[in-house]
Amino acid sequence: MQRFSQGIVAFENKCVHRGYPLRHDDSGRGPLVCGFHHWRYNHEGLALGIPNCIDMFGKAPREIDARLNRVELAQAGGFIFGRFADPAGPSLEAWLGPAFPILKYTSSFMRRSTDAAKFAVNAHWRYIHEISLDDYHIVAIHPSTFGKEGYLPGKETRYDQIGPHSMFFRAGNASSLPDMVDQCERGAFFPPRYRILQIFPGLVVSFVPATRLFGEGYWYVVVLHILPMAHNRSKLVSHSFRVPQPETKQAWRKIARWLAWPVIDRIFTFYARRVLREDNVACELLQAHAAADDPPPRLALHEERIGWFEEAYALAVSGVRKGSFRWTTDRIV
């Protein structure tokens, strides 16, 4: 993704001369010049600066008409999604369905993160996504946090399938998702219980309670971005944000919040990172022992969404459209 005076545009991070990456880091600035032979691209992704062009190719750059692969951008509030050209594909709003207003509203309080962390995980990205869909491992893998009070009762589980995406509502019911959508559209959502939304294939947004003080909850939204690096390596980028509490006119409460938040930020960061590290270790062990002839998993009630995800994945890799707004943020400039 690159900001030009004409606006923000995005391209696949691959030079159309011989496929060299245009940017080598997560972010970069300055002119779009390939480091291999110095081809220079303009805001339309057209190679207009080709060194020694006439001598090497026998024609001018405009005649060669070499263009970067354009990535279409669309937003759900502050979340920017990209896909390769897909004129018949659904809009981002249609593809996200009820997740669209949830992401849009959630992004409104994602201005300043209380924690930003990157993890290099020696596991395929699907393991990382799947462990986020698994509410059965909490006792074994997170005994000091999520699993401290034992297994979640089956009846406290509400899973909703949203196209290729899905959501878990702790103590939810059939009206949890429509109610949340309505509250987000009105800008009046505050989480009553833990919930987590997985956007296919690599975005996870969870609402996590930190503590209760003076009769009110202190909550965070944790946004995970899962980036494939290789068949057995991924990058996990995590950001946490405070969920704003309802407005108050009570001066003492404002002071209490002002004093409490910075302390809770530090404690929450400590435990949130611990949970992610515990998950990452489990994913790395799964990866290390994965074999092509592994039998199919036996999915429990609290792993039901892994089956949904695998189905969406199988459809996506076989080219069947189940919402074709494929994420490409790991490959765009």
Binding site for ligand FES (CB under 6 A): 15, 17-18, 20, 34, 36-37, 39
SS3 102: helix
Amino acid letter, residue 58: G
Residues ≥6 apart with Cβ < 8 Å to 102: 180, 181, 184, 189, 197, 205
* Residue labelled with tokens 């992401």: 103
190 interface partner picked from ligand FES, Fe ion, none, CB below 5 to 8 A per type? none
Token output for 5: 């005076």
Token output for 195: 């919930």
Of 12 and 279, the one with the shorter C-beta distance to Fe ion is: 279
- The answer to the question of residue 135 lying near Fe ion (CB under 5 A) is no
Q: Check if the beta carbon of residue 73 is closer than 8 Å to that of residue 67.
A: no
Of 160 and 279, the one with the shorter C-beta distance to Fe ion is: 279
Which residue is nearest to Fe ion, using beta carbons?
279
Token output for 97: 């369905």
- Least distance (Å) between residue 45 CB and ligand FES: 13
Of 265 and 279, the one with the shorter C-beta distance to Fe ion is: 279
34 interface partner picked from Fe ion, ligand FES, none, CB below 5 to 8 A per type? ligand FES
Q: Check if the beta carbon of residue 119 is closer than 8 Å to that of residue 236.
A: yes
* Enclosing H/E stretch for 237: strand 233-242
The site map against Fe ion for 253-282 (x = CB under 5 A) is --------------------------x---
Distances (CA, A) of 272 to 142, 163, 168, 253, 291: 11, 28, 18, 26, 31
279 interface partner picked from ligand FES, Fe ion, none, CB below 5 to 8 A per type? Fe ion
Of 36 and 190, the one with the shorter C-beta distance to ligand FES is: 36
- Least distance (Å) between residue 276 CB and Fe ion: 8
Of 17 and 67, the one with the shorter C-beta distance to ligand FES is: 17
Interface positions with Fe ion (CB under 5 A): 279
